[in-house]
């Protein structure tokens, strides 16, 4: 499989942070070749160190051998930064231009491992530090016209998904955005933890995905399909169930994720028990543990939002926990029958001591009705018919529409 590479890089703005000491970080939107979009944070010294190592890797293209051969853009040293408001504005335009020029370099540079690794998401990018109670981080955004003006000269226009807000949302941290019912927002990043980064007019910030709906119909089709085989994860933070269909788990428990939902609440299985659990409190087994959210709360579920107003006649449908448990049992039954078949065949292939003795004495083996009864006993188990909910969930949109029309007409 071909490695993914950065296809677009855009400077969104910068933040002034006060922990562990006062410093600035740049907000960069990275768009990858697999169509994923990630928001990352990098300091200017980090970017300049990357720039210097890139020049060392490509001495010809950086002009170290012949100045006329230089194609890697220049980037000023960070020693003069943040001395004045004018220097900050100069740095923003310089860095925005540098990002676009780096991505436009020949593929052997713009798609190299060193560049891809530097712009990959880090744990601290997914879970930014919680706001300081004494001093809150200050965010300064680049104007959309300015940012898009630079990008349009180098790359094709990028169309963001538009969603509608279904209920009033009041921000509680500096990172979030206040929105009202009916507002239209553009989605910049969809995070697995259920918090999406969006922009509305001149405002940008995080909002729970449960407060949003697409304009063209109910959004359950965007969720991944259930995987009853399960994807093993480990809990990194305890959670006590607040709703009947949720599950309580302690730190360090191993669970199987059987349904990943966009709103950040995944269906997990622990033995015979299933229930919704916050995805931000899970880490994939065998991988490096994600940073503890450190006080960041799980996004609210759609069922807990008051006065939600959708523009669609058909509401979002969710499978019940009984359906998840029933389909899990069916999966294990089918898996058990598949595993038992080779064992039966191997038992038949290996002769018993009694059969070996009969063969030695030239005694013919029994045939006829007895062998037929054995074949009947060894017939494979017919899998159960999937439930109507599962059929409707996995069928195509056209089939679902036809079935819905038929049900309405009846």
| CATH number 3.30.1520.10 is the correct assignment for the domain at 6-141 | yes
User: pTM of the predicted model, to two decimals?
Assistant: 0.49
**CA-to-CA separations, 207 to 123, 139, 225, 266, in angstroms, rounded:** 20, 16, 24, 18
Provide φ and ψ at 234, rounded to 5°. -120, 140
Residue 342: the pLDDT is 60
Residue 50: the pLDDT is 93
Domain coordinates in residue numbering, the chain = 6-141
Residue 323: the pLDDT is 87
Identify each DSSP E strand in 209-362 by its residue range: 212-214, 231-235, 254-259, 265-270, 273-278, 282-284
Q: Give the list of residues 6+ apart from residue 55 with CB closer than 8 angstroms, or none.
A: 62, 64, 72
Residue 289: the pLDDT is 55
Q: Tokens for 352, please give them.
A: 């018993």
Strand order in the sheet with 138-141: 37-42, 23-32, 6-17, 138-141
Buried b (16+ CB within 10 A) or exposed e, 346-379: eeeeeeeeeeeeeeeeeeeeeeeeeeeeeeeeee
Segment holding 26, helix H or strand E: strand 23-32
pLDDT tens readout for residues 218-262: 554 456 678 888 889 999 999 999 999 999 999 999 999 999 888
Residue 161: the pLDDT is 78
pLDDT tens readout for residues 326-352: 888 888 888 777 666 665 555 554 444
Contact 28, 119 (CB under 8 A): yes
- Which segments in the chain show pLDDT lower than 50? 1, 80-86, 132-134, 144-158, 220-221, 291-294, 349-377
Residue 21: the pLDDT is 63
- DSSP codes joined into one string, 130-172: PPPSSS--EEEEPPHHHHHHHHHTTS---PPEEEEE-S-B---
Q: Tokens for 283, please give them.
A: 């880490």
Q: Which of 277, 309, 280 is nearest to 297 (CA)?
A: 280
Q: Which of 92, 91, 111 is nearest to 102 (CA)?
A: 111
**209: DSSP letter:** G
């Amino acid at each position: 499989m071909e490695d993914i590479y950065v296809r677009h890089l855009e400077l969104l703005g910068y933040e002034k942070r006060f922990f562990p000491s006062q410093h600035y970080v740049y907000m960069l939107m990275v768009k990858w070749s697999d169509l994923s979009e990630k928001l990352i944070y990098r300091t200017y010294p980090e970017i300049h160190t990357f720039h210097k190592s890139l020049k060392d890797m490509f001495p010809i293209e950086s002009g170290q051998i012949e100045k006329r051969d230089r194609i890697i853009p220049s980037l000023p040293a960070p020693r003069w930064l943040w001395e004045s408001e004018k220097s900050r504005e100069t740095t923003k335009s310089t860095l925005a231009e540098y990002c676009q020029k780096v991505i436009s370099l020949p593929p052997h540079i713009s798609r190299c491992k060193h560049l891809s690794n530097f712009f990959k998401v880090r744990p601290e990018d997914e879970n930014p530090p919680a706001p300081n109670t004494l001093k809150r981080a200050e965010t300064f955004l680049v104007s959309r016209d300015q940012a898009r003006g630079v990008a349009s000269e180098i790359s094709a226009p990028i169309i963001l998904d538009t969603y509608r807000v279904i209920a009033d949302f009041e921000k509680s941290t500096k990172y979030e955005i206040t929105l009202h019912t009916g507002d239209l927002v553009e989605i910049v990043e969809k995070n697995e933890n259920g918090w999406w980064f969006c922009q509305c007019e001149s405002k940008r910030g995080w909002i729970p995905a449960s407060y949003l709906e697409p304009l063209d119909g109910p959004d359950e089709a965007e969720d991944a399909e259930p995987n009853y085989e399960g994807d093993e994860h480990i809990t990194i933070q305890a959670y006590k169930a607040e709703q009947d269909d949720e599950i309580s788990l302690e730190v360090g428990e191993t669970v199987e994720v059987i349904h990943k939902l966009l709103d950040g609440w995944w269906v997990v299985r622990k033995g015979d028990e299933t229930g919704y659990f916050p995805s931000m409190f899970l880490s994939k087994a065998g991988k490096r543990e994600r940073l503890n959210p450190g006080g960041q709360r799980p996004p609210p579920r759609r069922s807990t939002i008051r006065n939600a107003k959708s523009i669609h006649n058909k509401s979002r449908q969710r499978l019940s926990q009984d359906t998840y448990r029933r389909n899990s049992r069916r999966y294990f039954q089918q898996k058990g029958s598949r595993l038992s078949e080779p064992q039966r065949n191997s038992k038949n292939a290996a002769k018993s001591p009694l059969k070996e003795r009969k063969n030695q004495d030239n005694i013919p083996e029994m045939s006829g009705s007895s062998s037929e009864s054995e074949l009947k006993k060894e017939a494979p188990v017919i899998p159960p018919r999937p439930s109507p909910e599962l059929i409707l969930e996995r069928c195509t949109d056209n089939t679902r529409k036809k079935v819905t029309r038929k049900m309405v007409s009846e």
